[in-house]
Chain A
Amino acid sequence: MMEFSQFVSPKELLKIKRDIVEEALARANPIVALEFKKGILLLAENPSSTLNKIAEIYDRIAFAGTGVYNDYEKLRRAGVQYADLKGFAYSRKDVKAKALASEFSTTLGEIFSSRLFPLEVEILLVELGEEDEENHIYYIPASGGLIEEKGFAVIGDIFRHPETEELKKNVIRQFLAKEFPKGKLLPFKEALRLAHRALASAPRSIPLSPNHLELAILDGTLNRERKLHRFSREEIKNLLSS
């Protein structure tokens, strides 16, 4: 009979939980957020056209999540509830990404430390500012940290190498750290092409298909309160080929 040891040290437990999350993320698809002139784009690799990974939270706030669908979907729905409650009880301008990002971080942190099974996700929360300098990108890992990124951010950036079976981390992040221009923002189309190249740079067994992309942007030039604009698959293909 197999012997189980009764005691698992907290350190070991954390490692086990981290491994669970990393395994899940290695199976999931990556998402890139990238600032451009007067906007922020979110580009996800997503074979499904109905199960979205990118979503609207509020007027200027968008959400992206990857990992296990029901886990990030649960967080997204809670985020929409939080934002709409705040906007209803106070005013539309009082709904800010920072407060919600902090709620996500607290919730994920509590679940990670108190439950046997963590939520197997990584989350991005992006907020479009009135000016380009006022944009915010928040990255929240499953263990509950909260990191503010500038210019670009990536989630689901863990891959199992098709041949060696090795886990590789931060592939896309390293690509963008090299390629993302410093000191100035690109126009939308160029930014989209860069994001696309970044996604394609990940190790994969089959090449990235334009039919497997989900794209939405927070567009500062839109003349309406709600700034999130979603592109159809057809539009994405045209944008990338023109």
Chain B
Amino acid sequence: MLFHRYTGPSFTALLKTHYPELIPSFNKLEVPKEVVRSTTIAALCYQGGVLIAGDRRATIDGHLVVSEDVVKVFKTDDYSALAIAGTFGPSIKMAKLFKTELEHYEKMEGIPLTLEGKANKLSQLIEQNFPAAVMGLPVMPIFVGYDLKEKRGKIFEYDITGGTFTRSKQEPYAASGSGGERAKSTFEHFFRDGMNRDEAVELMVKALSFAAKRDAATSGKLFLIKDVSERGVSDIPGYGEEK
């Protein structure tokens, strides 16, 4: 039969009720040290939108390069995007689950979630990963979206327990991962109110390059930068597009 007992709008709840095997779970395993991690990600608001970006490197223990071509920045729907640092496997799965969750909700209910609703749902997914995070498989996302009502970009940061930090209008930038501190310092130095998109792209590249200069786990060669604005989500060309 096509019908499920669960008929609500949440895709995660649907998986939990009927297909628990599809939910990523490492809770009962000893975690080996050699897991692949992806590093620096950052987000930055400008006048009329928000940028979200990451480098393209994945490493084991920060010094063995596994790939120079990974994607850590994902479009999650027409007006939001997600970047994830931390353990590579679970973070990719979380991004996919989150994207499906947003789309599923929109189709089931016939109306998309509000930006705050999306940010809150992501917080729940991170919280569910907490046992894995304690065992050494953290997932550290930054979530951005364009608020169509307030006509501005917004940035949400998370800790491994799912705690949500909404970046203020005065300091609308965030960075995470091994090179995150240097990227943040760069923003703190050079951020100006009312930057346009081109200026913001320039600052974003500067922040990622500074991070890559000192952090071996971050690549300075290729970046992926996404722009989220009233026009939707698009790649900033010239820094390596998503495949």
Residues of A within 8 A of B (CB): 52, 55-57, 74-75, 77-82, 84-85, 87-89, 103-104, 106-107, 110, 226
Are A89 and B22 in touch, CB under 8 angstroms? yes
Contact of A81 among B4, B96, B103, B110 (CB under 8 A): B4
B104 interface contact, C-beta 8 A: yes
Docked CA distance A75–B7 (Å): 11
Beta-carbon contacts of B139-153 to A below 8 Å, as 1s and 0s? 000000000000000
Beta-carbon contacts of B1-17 to A below 8 Å, as 1s and 0s? 11110010001001100
Least Cβ–Cβ distance between B103 and chain A, in angstroms: 7
B residues within 8 A CB of A75? 2
In the complex, number of A-B residue pairs with CB atoms less than 8 Å apart: 48
Scoring B2, B19, B103, B110 by chain A CB atoms within 10 A of each residue's CB, the highest score goes to B2
Given contacts A74-B3, A78-B2, contact A55 B100 (CB under 8 A): no
Are A88 and B22 in touch, CB under 8 angstroms? yes
Scoring A87, A88, A107 by chain B CB atoms within 10 A of each residue's CB, the highest score goes to A88
Within 8 A of A (CB), among B1-50: 1-4, 7, 11, 14-15, 19, 22
Are A85 and B14 in touch, CB under 8 angstroms? yes
Contact of A88 among B2, B4, B100, B108 (CB under 8 A): B100
Nearest A residue to B107 via CB reads: A80
B97 interface contact, C-beta 8 A: yes
Are B110 and A103 in touch, CB under 8 angstroms? no
Least Cβ–Cβ distance between B112 and chain A, in angstroms: 12
> Can you offer 8 A-B residue contacts whose CB atoms are under 8 A?
A55-B110, A78-B7, A81-B104, A82-B2, A84-B11, A84-B104, A88-B97, A107-B1
A residues within 8 A CB of B7? 74, 77-78
Docked CA distance A226–B103 (Å): 10
Are B2 and A84 in touch, CB under 8 angstroms? no
Are A84 and B110 in touch, CB under 8 angstroms? no
Interface size class of B (residues with CB under 8 A): 10 to 19
Are B107 and A55 in touch, CB under 8 angstroms? yes
Docked CA distance A79–B108 (Å): 10
Given contacts A52-B110, A77-B108, A89-B22, contact A84 B103 (CB under 8 A): yes
Are B3 and A110 in touch, CB under 8 angstroms? no
Contact of A84 among B1, B3, B100 (CB under 8 A): B100
B residues within 8 A CB of A110? 1
Contact of A87 among B3, B15, B19, B100 (CB under 8 A): B100
Are B3 and A107 in touch, CB under 8 angstroms? yes
A residues within 8 A CB of B110? 52, 55
Given contacts A81-B14, A82-B2, A104-B2, contact A88 B96 (CB under 8 A): yes
Are A56 and B1 in touch, CB under 8 angstroms? no
Docked CA distance A103–B3 (Å): 10
Nearest B residue to A57 via CB reads: B107
B residues within 8 A CB of A82? 2
Are B19 and A85 in touch, CB under 8 angstroms? yes
- Smallest CB-CB A-B distances: 8 pairs: A107-B2, A78-B2, A80-B107, A103-B2, A84-B104, A88-B100, A78-B3, A56-B107
Least Cβ–Cβ distance between A174 and chain B, in angstroms: 32
Least Cβ–Cβ distance between A76 and chain B, in angstroms: 9
Are B4 and A78 in touch, CB under 8 angstroms? yes
Nearest A residue to B93 via CB reads: A88
B residues within 8 A CB of A226? 103
A residues within 8 A CB of B11? 84, 88
